Structure 1
Amino acid sequence: GQVEPARNTLLAARAKAEAIGSRRTLWPILATLADLETDPLKAEPLRQQAREIITYIADHALPELRASFLELPTTQELLTL
């Protein structure tokens, strides 16, 4: 019953994260939007964009931070889908 308000909040957060260029904030928003999406054809591009951001963050992180970031359950889930 609360899916639409949640989606609207996430869409507003997405717009703000994109406007300020906050990849760190954007990828979990995209992942959550994908989880809320009932149409797999609409969910997959959101997941793909989140994966691209995860890869970018990992590629630009210090080695010790990269490993721990990529081992997070949320990043693991997205990277293995």
Structure 2
Amino acid sequence: MNCSGELDWIKFHTYNRVNTHVQKTFILAHVHIPALSRTPASYLSNPAEMVNHLKAGRLWSVREVVIRRWSPARMRP
């Protein structure tokens, strides 16, 4: 990961190569949290309300991407 917490292509390729040699499933989780500038002022003035909305899943979303083991040699007829 780079300093901003994003997965760069070099790391992703490294994980993918490891995944092709072992029998594991690689799960990427994209967590989307809105910027403070787009957060309602009522949430910022009342931290408890913001925490309640975060726990309820109203301010963020998670998208999972599953990468399964794939080997070209195993896919031959």
Please state which band the TM-score falls in when normalised by the shorter chain: under 0.3
The normalised TM-score by structure 2 is 0.28
TM-score when normalising by structure 1: 0.27
Q: Higher helix fraction: Structure 1 or Structure 2?
A: 1
- Structure that is richer in strand per residue: 2
Greater relative contact order structure (CA < 8 Å, 6+ sep):
2
